[in-house]
A = this chain, B = another copy of it.
């Protein structure tokens, strides 16, 4: 087992009607910046509930909205200006992973003398940030308890991440009811994302990580089971709750304790999103199986466990590797997710450029180290995989 330091201090407030506690949790931080997306929270009534809760507790706040999927640097810069000018004490993100990531970037930038993009482009660790709170509306990214923020610089077509323990939200409010009306495709993308967060940790070069291996497998099995149920009954509280809690646990870091994590598939997907603005979960559904095809040839061992302990495969070890990968592919297809780059409208034109860019600072991943050629091969495989 690897040495590690782990601390996740995010207070998770989980349950029916939990958004009514937003105001109480925001008390004592000073002026709040209410940060959200394109207005779906107004249609759903969530906006009114949160505002009512803030007012009830006498919390002063102002607003910045307009976050889009693959959240943009431009709005982050606006938010930083606003925080400084208005002396904001806490950023309350109401939305999915994109809104929370945008809030985290603003929080880091507001207390930094230089340019906020330094944290992303120079992978500078974030040491100081304004506190962030969240009311989560999509079970997916795990940003509600994670250390990371992923932001896209549209001008440069770059999607990069920054991280730091101070970026974990101080509180996150999770009410599964808020996810009842999510379109099936968004639900499916979220499921692919959380499953990917476990997979990125499960395929580790670390030895003797039995405990977290078993926990990863348990979380993956539960995601698969409840994903199937929730697609059939999107208004079922318990299925939504299982998926929502899984999204948080998949990415709060506990499944990575004592392990070296991989993250190659995420880095490759970020290139797809940067160039083509695809939904992150859809991109992952395409990249992950292709990544598996590629690396399992070099290191089949963990893939045998993956097949047996996640998908219940009972055949020979030799057949297990392919069986596990096929199960994952079939599962994504069952959820209505794309299986190939072509399926998300991406051709082979930029494969070389994308592979070059995501390996420009050295090889990707840890389970197997991937060079530019490997990434190209994975993307070629993803082109018509399936």
Chain B residue at minimal CB-CB distance from A165: B11
In the assembled complex, A222 has its CB within 8 A of some CB on chain B: yes
**Chain B residues with Cβ under 8 A from A13's Cβ?**
5
In the assembled complex, A246 has its CB within 8 A of some CB on chain B: yes
**Chain B residues with Cβ under 8 A from A15's Cβ?**
2-4
**Chain B residues with Cβ under 8 A from A238's Cβ?**
1, 207-208
Q: How far is the CA of A5 from the CA of B223 in the complex (A)?
A: 22
In the assembled complex, A59 has its CB within 8 A of some CB on chain B: no
Residues in chain A within 8 A of chain B (CB atoms): 1-16, 18, 176, 207-208, 210-215, 217-219, 221-223, 225-226, 237-239, 241-242, 245-246, 249, 254, 257-258
Contact flag A12-B1 (CB < 8 Å), given A215-B219, A225-B210, A238-B207: no
Q: How far is the CA of A213 from the CA of B207 in the complex (A)?
A: 25
Counting chain B CB atoms within 10 Å of each CB, the highest count among A2, A215, A219 belongs to A215
In the A-B complex, list the 6 residue pairs whose CB atoms are closest, starting with the nearest: A3-B15, A214-B218, A208-B238, A9-B9, A218-B218, A7-B11
A4-B10 in contact (CB<8A): no
Q: How far is the CA of A6 from the CA of B4 in the complex (A)?
A: 22
| A to B CB contacts below 8 Å, 19 in the list | A1-B176, A3-B14, A3-B15, A6-B12, A7-B10, A8-B8, A8-B9, A12-B257, A207-B238, A208-B239, A208-B241, A208-B242, A210-B222, A211-B222, A211-B242, A211-B246, A211-B249, A214-B222, A217-B218
**Chain B residues with Cβ under 8 A from A258's Cβ?**
14, 241, 245
Report the minimum CB–CB distance from A83 to chain B (whole Å): 25
**Chain B residues with Cβ under 8 A from A219's Cβ?**
211, 214-215
Contact of A211 among B208, B210, B245, B257 (CB under 8 A): B245
**Chain B residues with Cβ under 8 A from A18's Cβ?**
3
A245-B257 in contact (CB<8A): yes
**Chain B residues with Cβ under 8 A from A211's Cβ?**
218-219, 222-223, 226, 242, 245-246, 249
Q: How far is the CA of A362 from the CA of B212 in the complex (A)?
A: 38
Q: How far is the CA of A207 from the CA of B221 in the complex (A)?
A: 18
Contact flag A1-B214 (CB < 8 Å), given A8-B8, A258-B14: no
**Chain B residues with Cβ under 8 A from A239's Cβ?**
208
Q: How far is the CA of A151 from the CA of B259 in the complex (A)?
A: 36
Report the minimum CB–CB distance from A128 to chain B (whole Å): 17
Report the minimum CB–CB distance from A356 to chain B (whole Å): 37
Chain B residue at minimal CB-CB distance from A254: B254
Chain B residue at minimal CB-CB distance from A211: B222
Chain B residue at minimal CB-CB distance from A208: B238
Contact flag A7-B4 (CB < 8 Å), given A210-B242, A226-B211, A245-B258: no
For the A-B complex with A8-B9, A210-B242 known, give 9 more contacts whose Cβ atoms are closer than 8 Å.
A1-B14, A1-B237, A3-B16, A4-B15, A7-B11, A12-B257, A211-B226, A214-B222, A249-B254
